[in-house]
């Protein structure tokens, strides 16, 4: 099924936004990710689900380049990036957030988002302030802050913000760089119901040109946003399909949904 | 106001206080500022800053002296000596930075410490540059506008003061540029910055070279002030002295560099003439112990040094209007106690 | 608003700094305030840290003894020279000891201490420093401060007077080169050395010591076949002694290695080439000072050693008098054991004493008047000599450097309780050019080995049981 879609894309001359072939990652004797094949089409919304320890975050790290793959290959827009450092992948348009949101706690919200834009825009080593250029970047940073409704805290140190606000900053940073692929690692975890709604709205309103890959525990958010869902377990992909197919899948229920619902109660 | 007092220094204070102590405060402050820059904005605890200013001092000494002076006594133009000192020191900083910038935390510290020990031995044992005895008589070969600091001490005083102000402003500026903001990002989370598209290693290397550049300025002023440089100018106790200065002043704020230098120099000079200290075991040869105690007290009372104490006092006076923990962008690095373990 | 607050903050911190500055300035002002009388402000500079820390009290003791004997000052504590003195005056000008410098044999520290003594404490005259590198830096300082007057402590660097030539720095003791006069001749005459190698510390004092040995040996007809330079403070000498030719290729070895380096150097030699022989080794003063004699062991008993400008077992009227004077003012020089006169011939006591004594003499000539910025005092010092100095008359050359007789010794480590050395010969007065053999700062390869007789070659007098024959 996936192969067919990929073939179609290849025929149409459009490379998938992301293609993984047999990707594995070992930590000593532990196979965090065993052998994952995955293709995500440009503009697609994809959720990756799975119980804790399924290897979702490790897979993210391998895709982003924070970890190297022990086996297999990673392609972005048809380009093999398996051995490319993370900073170059970022320049190809890959942005991500982290589960334990890795933020720049000593910087202000504005500076954090500014750095996110600058990271892709280049000129990192420029030791002078260019008024017009820097103002333009800061303008974009403030714009991104507005989109996640954090613009009232622009001057605050990130370290002094609440957990929910950290999520907002993380998403703003990811969005601000205008990525082609956006990978969000549990964007809604630890948020209140209201905040979760906000995040869902935000994700639904994303530019269709952005390919979105999402790790999410919250099924409401994940299944509302995603067009396709990949289910992982024990380092392997076990099921892939539309949200409806996933909801209906016995295995998923047994492995994940049941437990999740149980935990929620 | 501190600037006004400093500008009037030669008219307000005794010659000794102005030319021997305050000039020393200025160059020490510059050296400490390079350390605070690297730590506060780059998250790098560098013990190499003393060695770097020592190298600059040796370059000047070898380049400008003449005749039977020790070392190479090339007898070059004093300005050329200045340029060489800056260029060579910065290049060495670049190389060391390239080697060390992949390491973080304690490993980075150990690498710079190793460098400090190596340079100390290098200059002690490689006699072509002056060796153990170092180079003397540098004050006879300063640029014309400065003249012999023994005859025109005010000129060196103002040059040191001006350089301090310039270094202060320069660092304040640089940390607001893309380079500087990104450096602070790297301080907070290098892995994250890498995934944002930054070349963390290159960035840290260049920051380290910039620190070396600042140190080289301190080194040049140092040899003009001291007339002499030898391996003892950059031995481990000198390394610790500079670290003490930076910590006393407060690693979290740039002004702390000069405040720490001021306190250190004053204590160093006057502590042992305080009557009665001899009776509690602090005889002249133990005044380092006394400085150690002062250091300890300050660090225990306020991990962010005297600047930290000062800020807290001011915030208390300012009441609710104070701005604890919400520095505006580019205002300065955070207090080190909230530093996450890098790497 | 952000900027306003920042500026506000800046000003506030500025205020704090300024306050500190004012407090400290008041402090400084009181420290340099001058009383109404015109006392002679004197400072003594020695090392209370570093390799010579143990000689600190001894140095000060030597200097103060001269002031006590000839200018009427009273030591505050006969068991602790660094306690200072009270009283004393010259020409009605009270003598005030404003401070004692505490350096660590490093030039860098010596300069800081000198600035403190001369500028903060306002001394007019300084006696010191102790070691060679310090003295080069202080002579440079002296040159830049012509109104201050400096007499050396016991520093023995050649450059201090021969290169820097500060008109206000005087040295009434020999330097490291002068001290080794006669030792090379001894090697040729007594030990019949023709070829020798030398191992010397790779810094100024090593060069100076070695220069005296090389120049003297070559003048007497010997040849130096190899010079080896271990860096100062080397601990493992094995690679350096292997650079020395084996005993089959030379008649002997000169050593100008520092006190802490001598035992490990000799041990390394033993491992490389077998047992040490006293007839194959000649050392400089570090063979017996700094306790090295206790570690070297009996193998080197009887080896010849270069001098220190004095002779511990010499007898004579001036020596007896000098020892009596030392014991009159101080009971001991802690932490050294024994009474003051037990250390009479140590360069530390002897040279500090002589330098201070010459200073007092010159001050008496100008009746304590230094109101002309010390010009007359400096002129008087240049003409001062010490004809009655315990171990031979001392006068100055045109560079204000001592010309004095020298001595050579022999190790005596076997006799229990005896001194570690016995004086074996007396060398008539030696000047700083070493009889014309030395014109440039001594270095790794300077002076070259020149077979030109020195003024004293062959004119040394044997010393037997402390009597010059």
CATH number (domain holding residue A8): 3.40.50.300
Axis crossing angle, helix A193-204 with helix A163-176, rounded to the nearest 10: 10
End-to-end C-alpha distance for chain C, whole angstroms: 93
The values of phi and psi at residue A255, to 5°, are -75, -35
The encoded tokens of residue B217 equal 């300025």
Q: In the predicted model, what is the mean pLDDT of chain A?
A: 86
Most B CBs within 10 Å, among A89, A92, A96, A104, to test the B interface:
A104
pLDDT at res. C138: 94
Q: Is the pLDDT of residue B28 over 70?
A: yes
H-helix or E-strand spanning residue C47: strand C40-47
Question: Do residues A230 and A262 share a domain?
Answer: yes
Any CB–CB contact under 8 A between B118 and chain C?
no
* Residue with the two structure tokens 């004797």: A29
How far, in Å, CA of B321 to CA of B335, rounded?
Answer: 20
How far, in Å, CA of A64 to CA of A67, rounded?
Answer: 8
Determine the Cα angle at A138 with ends A135 and A141, to 5°: 155
Any CB–CB contact under 8 A between B57 and chain C?
no
Question: Do residues A203 and A171 share a domain?
Answer: no
Q: Is the pLDDT of residue A217 over 50?
A: yes
* Residue A240 included in any domain: yes
Q: Is there a contact between C446 and C211 (Cβ–Cβ < 8 Å)?
A: yes
- Reported as a pLDDT band with limits 50, 70 and 90, residue A121 is confident
CA distance C419 to chain B (A): 31
Which chain C residues are closer than 8 Å to B137 by Cβ? 140, 164
CA distance C128 to chain B (A): 17
* Residue A44 included in any domain: yes
- Could you read off the pLDDT of B41-68 as tens digits, one per residue? 999 999 999 999 999 999 999 999 987 6
* Residue with the two structure tokens 């063979």: C287
* Residue A202 included in any domain: yes
Q: Is there a contact between C356 and C381 (Cβ–Cβ < 8 Å)?
A: no
Contact B284 C164 (CB under 8 A): no
Contact B185 A107 (CB under 8 A): yes
pLDDT at res. A29: 85
**In chain B, which residue's Cα lies nearest the Cα of A61?**
B195
- Per DSSP (E only), the strands in chain A are 18-27, 30-40, 45-49, 71-76, 79-80, 94-96, 181-185, 211-215, 228-233, 236-241
Q: Is the pLDDT of residue A202 over 80?
A: yes
Any CB–CB contact under 8 A between B20 and chain C?
yes
* Residue with the two structure tokens 């820059």: B37
Q: Helices H, strands E: what count in chain A? A: 11, 10
The answer as to CATH 3.30.70.1020 being correct for domain C40-174+314-400 is no
Any CB–CB contact under 8 A between B337 and chain A?
no
Instruction: Give domain limits for chain C.
Output: 40-174+314-400, 181-306+406-468
Alpha helices in A56-130, H assignment, sequence order: 56-64, 86-91, 109-121
Question: Do residues A125 and A38 share a domain?
Answer: no
How far, in Å, CA of A81 to CA of A63, rounded?
Answer: 9
Q: Is the pLDDT of residue C233 over 80?
A: no
Q: Is there a contact between C321 and C122 (Cβ–Cβ < 8 Å)?
A: no
DSSP bridge pairs for C411: C421
- Could you read off the pLDDT of B186-211 as tens digits, one per residue? 999 999 999 899 999 999 999 999 99
- C-alpha distances out from residue C351 to A247, C64, C77, C320, Å: 99, 12, 21, 17
Instruction: Let me know if the fold of C40-174+314-400 is the same as that of C181-306+406-468.
Output: yes
- Could you read off the pLDDT of B219-253 as tens digits, one per residue? 999 999 999 999 989 999 899 999 999 999 988 88
Question: Do residues A29 and A147 share a domain?
Answer: no
CA distance B297 to chain C (A): 18
The encoded tokens of residue A263 equal 């935990």
Picking from B124, B323, B328, the nearest residue to C232 by CB comes out as B124
The values of phi and psi at residue A108, to 5°, are -75, 165
pLDDT at res. A163: 84
How far, in Å, CA of C58 to CA of C391, rounded?
Answer: 18
Q: Is the pLDDT of residue C9 over 60?
A: no
Which of B266-280, C260-274, C416-430 has the highest mean predicted lDDT (pLDDT)?
Answer: C260-274
Which chain B residues are closer than 8 Å to C20 by Cβ? 259, 262-263, 266
* Closest by CA position to C384, among listed C399, C365, C404, C369: C365
Most C CBs within 10 Å, among B18, B230, B321, to test the C interface:
B230
Handedness of CA C26, C30, C32, C34 (dihedral sign): positive
Q: Helices H, strands E: what count in chain C? A: 13, 18
State how beta strands C461-464 and C467-468 pair.
Answer: antiparallel
What residues contact residue B161 under an 8 Å CB cut-off, 6+ apart? B6, B7, B9, B26
- CA C209 and chain centroid, separation: 12
* Residue with the two structure tokens 């942005």: A95
What SS3 state is found at A152? helix
Contact C25 B131 (CB under 8 A): no
State how beta strands A79-80 and A30-40 pair.
Answer: unpaired
Question: Do residues A29 and A87 share a domain?
Answer: yes
Q: Is the pLDDT of residue C323 over 70?
A: yes
Q: Is the pLDDT of residue C6 over 70?
A: no
Which chain B residues are closer than 8 Å to A140 by Cβ? none
Q: In the predicted model, what is the mean pLDDT of chain C?
A: 89
pLDDT at res. A190: 80
Cis preceding linkage at C129, omega within 30: yes
How far, in Å, CA of B72 to CA of B130, rounded?
Answer: 7
Contact C107 B14 (CB under 8 A): no
Any CB–CB contact under 8 A between B156 and chain C?
no
B154-164 b/e (C-beta count within 10 Å ≥ 16 → b): bbbbbbbbebb
Question: Do residues A89 and A203 share a domain?
Answer: yes
How far, in Å, CA of B126 to CA of B123, rounded?
Answer: 5
* Residue A136 included in any domain: yes
Q: Is the pLDDT of residue B260 over 80?
A: yes
- Reported as a pLDDT band with limits 50, 70 and 90, residue C219 is very high
Q: Is the pLDDT of residue C17 over 60?
A: no
When comparing pLDDT for C396 and A2, which is higher? Answer: C396
Q: What is the mean pLDDT of residues A241-251?
A: 85
- Reported as a pLDDT band with limits 50, 70 and 90, residue C292 is low
Which chain B residues are closer than 8 Å to C204 by Cβ? 70, 131-133
How far, in Å, CA of A248 to CA of C402, rounded?
Answer: 107
**How many C-beta neighbours within 10 Å does residue B236 have?**
13
* Residue A36 included in any domain: yes
Q: What percent of chain A has pLDDT over 70?
A: 91
Provide the 8-state DSSP code for B251. T
- Per DSSP (E only), the strands in C157-300 are 169-170, 195-200, 223-228, 252-256, 281-283
Q: Is there a contact between C419 and C412 (Cβ–Cβ < 8 Å)?
A: yes
Q: Is the pLDDT of residue C19 over 70?
A: no
Question: Do residues A88 and A129 share a domain?
Answer: no
- Reported as a pLDDT band with limits 50, 70 and 90, residue C293 is low
Number of domains within chain A: 2
Contact A91 B197 (CB under 8 A): yes
Question: Do residues A205 and A75 share a domain?
Answer: yes
Handedness of CA B183, B187, B188, B194 (dihedral sign): positive
pLDDT at res. C1: 42
Axis crossing angle, helix B236-249 with helix B23-36, rounded to the nearest 10: 80
What SS3 state is found at A29? coil
Contact C27 B270 (CB under 8 A): yes
HSE, CB side, 13 Å, CA atoms: give it for residue C269: 28
DSSP bridge pairs for C321: none
Question: Do residues A26 and A77 share a domain?
Answer: yes
State how beta strands C395-396 and C402-411 pair.
Answer: antiparallel
Q: What is the mean pLDDT of residues A27-44?
A: 91
Q: Is the confidence metric ipTM above 0.85 for this complex?
A: no
Picking from B5, B16, B134, the nearest residue to C32 by CB comes out as B16
* Residue A118 included in any domain: yes
- Reported as a pLDDT band with limits 50, 70 and 90, residue A148 is confident
CA distance B175 to chain A (A): 9
**In chain A, which residue's Cα lies nearest the Cα of B196?**
A119
CA distance C16 to chain B (A): 8
Q: Is the pLDDT of residue C8 over 70?
A: no
Any CB–CB contact under 8 A between A184 and chain B?
no
pTM of the model: 0.81
Question: Do residues A148 and A206 share a domain?
Answer: no
HSE, CB side, 13 Å, CA atoms: give it for residue A33: 30
Q: Is the pLDDT of residue B322 over 70?
A: no
Q: What is the mean pLDDT of residues A225-237?
A: 90
- Reported as a pLDDT band with limits 50, 70 and 90, residue C184 is very high
A145, A178, A211 — which closes off a domain?
Answer: A178
* Closest by CA position to A152, among listed A190, A110, A188: A110
Q: Please report the DSSP string for C317-377 in residue order.
A: HHHHHHHHHHHHH-S--TTS-S-GGGGTTSHHHHHHHHHHHHHHHHHHHTTT--TTTTHHH
The encoded tokens of residue B74 equal 């090339």
Handedness of CA B113, B119, B125, B131 (dihedral sign): negative
Question: Do residues A121 and A251 share a domain?
Answer: no
Question: Do residues A117 and A150 share a domain?
Answer: yes
For C:35-74, CB contacts with B below 8 A are: 48-49, 53
CATH number listed for the domain at residues C181-306+406-468: 3.40.50.2300
Which chain A residues are closer than 8 Å to B327 by Cβ? 157
DSSP bridge pairs for A91: none
Q: Is the pLDDT of residue B331 over 50?
A: no
Contact B181 A111 (CB under 8 A): yes
- Reported as a pLDDT band with limits 50, 70 and 90, residue A265 is very low
Which chain A residues are closer than 8 Å to B178 by Cβ? 118, 123-126, 134
**In chain C, which residue's Cα lies nearest the Cα of B10?**
C25
CA distance B309 to chain C (A): 11
Picking from B180, B327, B340, the nearest residue to A157 by CB comes out as B327
Any CB–CB contact under 8 A between B1 and chain C?
yes
Q: Is the pLDDT of residue C416 over 80?
A: no
Q: Is there a contact between B267 and B291 (Cβ–Cβ < 8 Å)?
A: yes
- Reported as a pLDDT band with limits 50, 70 and 90, residue B293 is confident
What SS3 state is found at C127? strand
The values of phi and psi at residue C457, to 5°, are -55, 120
**In chain A, which residue's Cα lies nearest the Cα of B41?**
A106
Picking from B20, B233, B273, the nearest residue to C108 by CB comes out as B233
- Reported as a pLDDT band with limits 50, 70 and 90, residue B2 is confident
* Residue A98 included in any domain: no
CA distance B203 to chain A (A): 7
- Residue A232 sits in which domain range? 1-93+198-265
């Amino acid at each position: 099924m996936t192969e067919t879609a990929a073939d179609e894309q290849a025929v149409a001359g459009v490379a998938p936004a992301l293609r993984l072939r047999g990707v594995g990652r070992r930590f000593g004797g532990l196979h965090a990710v065993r052998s994952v094949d995955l293709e995500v089409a440009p503009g697609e919304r994809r959720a990756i689900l799975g119980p804790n320890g399924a290897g979702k975050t490790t897979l993210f790290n391998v895709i982003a380049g924070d970890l190297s793959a022990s086996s297999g290959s990673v392609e972005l827009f048809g380009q093999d990036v398996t051995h490319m450092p993370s900073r170059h992948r970022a320049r190809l348009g890959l942005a991500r957030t982290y589960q334990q949101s890795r933020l720049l706690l000593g910087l202000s919200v504005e500076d954090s988002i500014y750095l996110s834009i600058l990271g892709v825009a280049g000129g990192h080593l420029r030791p002078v302030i260019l008024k017009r250029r820097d103002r333009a970047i800061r303008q974009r940073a403030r714009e991104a802050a507005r989109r996640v409704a954090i613009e009232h805290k622009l001057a605050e140190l990130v370290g002094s913000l609440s957990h929910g606000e950290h999520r907002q900053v993380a998403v703003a940073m990811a969005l601000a760089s205008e990525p082609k692929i956006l990978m969000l690692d549990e964007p809604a975890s630890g948020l209140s119901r209201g905040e979760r709604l906000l995040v869902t709205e935000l994700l639904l309103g994303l530019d269709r040109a952005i390919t979105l890959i999402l790790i999410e525990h919250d099924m409401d958010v994940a299944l509302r946003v995603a067009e396709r869902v990949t289910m992982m377990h024990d380092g392997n992909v076990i099921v892939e399909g539309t949200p409806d197919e996933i909801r209906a899948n016995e295995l998923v229920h047994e492995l994940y949904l049941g437990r999740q619902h149980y935990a929620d109660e | 106001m501190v600037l006004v007092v400093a500008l009037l220094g030669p008219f307000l204070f005794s010659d000794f206080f102005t030319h021997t102590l305050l000039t020393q405060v200025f160059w020490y402050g510059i050296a400490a500022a390079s350390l605070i820059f690297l730590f506060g904005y780059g998250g790098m605890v560098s013990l190499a800053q003393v060695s770097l200013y020592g190298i600059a001092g040796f370059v000047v000494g070898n380049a400008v002296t003449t005749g039977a002076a020790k070392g190479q006594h090339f007898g070059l133009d004093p300005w050329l000596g200045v340029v060489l000192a800056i260029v060579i020191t910065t290049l060495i900083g670049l190389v060391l930075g390239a080697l060390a910038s992949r390491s973080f935390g304690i490993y980075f510290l150990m690498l710079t410490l190793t460098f400090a020990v190596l340079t100390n031995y290098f200059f002690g044992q490689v006699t072509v540059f002056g060796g153990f005895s170092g180079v003397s008589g540098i004050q006879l070969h300063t640029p014309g506008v400065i003249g012999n600091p023994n005859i025109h001490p005010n000129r060196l005083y103002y040059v040191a003061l001006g350089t301090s102000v310039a270094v202060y402003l320069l660092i304040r500026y640089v940390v607001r540029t893309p380079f500087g903001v990104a450096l602070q990002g790297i301080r907070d989370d290098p892995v994250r910055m890498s995934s944002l598209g930054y070349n963390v290693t290159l960035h840290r290397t260049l920051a380290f070279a910039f620190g070396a550049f600042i140190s080289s300025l301190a080194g040049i002023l140092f040899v003009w002030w001291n007339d002499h440089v030898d391996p003892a100018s950059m031995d481990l106790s000198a390394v610790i002295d500079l670290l003490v200065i930076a910590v006393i002043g407060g690693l979290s704020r740039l002004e702390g560099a000069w405040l720490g230098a001021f306190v250190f120099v004053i204590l160093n000079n006057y502590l042992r003439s305080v009557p009665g200290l001899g009776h509690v075991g602090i005889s002249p040869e133990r005044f380092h112990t006394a400085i150690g105690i002062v250091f300890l007290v300050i660090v225990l009372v306020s991990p962010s040094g005297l600047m930290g104490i000062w800020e807290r006092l001011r915030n208390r006076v300012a009441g609710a209007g104070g701005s604890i923990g919400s520095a505006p962008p580019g205002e300065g690095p955070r207090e080190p106690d909230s530093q996450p373990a890098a790497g | 608003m952000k900027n306003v607050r920042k500026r506000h903050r800046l000003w506030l911190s500025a205020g704090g700094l300024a306050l500190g500055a004012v407090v400290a300035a008041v402090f400084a002002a009181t420290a340099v305030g001058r009383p109404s009388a015109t006392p002679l402000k004197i400072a003594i500079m020695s090392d209370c840290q570093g390799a010579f820390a143990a000689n600190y009290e001894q140095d000060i003791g030597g200097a103060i003894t001269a002031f006590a004997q000839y200018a009427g000052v009273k030591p505050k504590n006969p068991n602790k020279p660094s306690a200072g003195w009270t009283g004393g005056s010259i020409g009605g000008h009270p003598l005030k000891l404003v401070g004692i410098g505490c350096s660590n044999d490093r030039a860098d520290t010596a300069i800081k201490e000198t600035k403190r003594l001369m500028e903060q404490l306002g001394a007019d005259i300084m006696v010191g420093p102790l070691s060679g590198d310090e003295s080069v830096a202080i002579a440079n300082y002296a040159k830049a401060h012509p109104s201050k007057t400096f007499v050396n402590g016991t520093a023995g660097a050649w450059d201090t007077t021969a290169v820097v030539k500060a008109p206000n720095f005087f040295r009434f003791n020999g330097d490291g080169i002068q001290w080794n006069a006669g030792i090379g001749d001894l090697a040729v005459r007594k030990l019949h050395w023709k070829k020798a190698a030398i191992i010397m510390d790779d810094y100024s004092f090593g060069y100076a010591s070695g220069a005296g040995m090389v120049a003297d040996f070559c003048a007497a007809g010997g040849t130096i076949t190899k010079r080896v330079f271990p860096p100062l403070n080397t601990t493992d000498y094995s690679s350096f002694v292997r650079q020395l030719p084996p005993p089959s290729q030379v008649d002997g070895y000169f050593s100008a290695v520092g006190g802490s380096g001598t035992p490990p150097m000799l041990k390394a030699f033993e491992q490389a080439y077998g047992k040490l022989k006293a007839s194959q080794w000649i050392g400089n003063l570090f063979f017996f000072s700094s306790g090295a004699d206790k570690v070297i062991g009996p193998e080197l008993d009887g080896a010849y050693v270069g001098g220190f400008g004095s002779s511990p077992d010499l007898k004579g009227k001036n020596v007896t008098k000098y020892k009596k004077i030392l014991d009159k003012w101080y009971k001991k020089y802690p932490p050294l054991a024994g009474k003051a006169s037990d250390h009479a011939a140590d360069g530390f006591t002897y040279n500090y004493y002589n330098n201070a004594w010459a200073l007092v003499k010159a001050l008496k000539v100008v009746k304590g008047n230094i109101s002309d910025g010390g010009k007359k005092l400096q002129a008087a010092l240049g003409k001062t000599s010490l004809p009655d100095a315990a171990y031979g008359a001392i006068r100055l050359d045109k560079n204000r450097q001592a010309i004095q007789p020298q001595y050579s010794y022999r190790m005596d480590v076997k006799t229990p309780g005896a001194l570690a050395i016995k004086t074996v010969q007396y060398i008539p007065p030696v000047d700083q050019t070493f009889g014309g053999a030395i014109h440039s700062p001594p270095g790794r390869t300077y002076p070259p080995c020149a077979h030109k007789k020195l003024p004293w070659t062959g004119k040394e007098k044997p010393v037997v049981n402390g009597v010059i024959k």
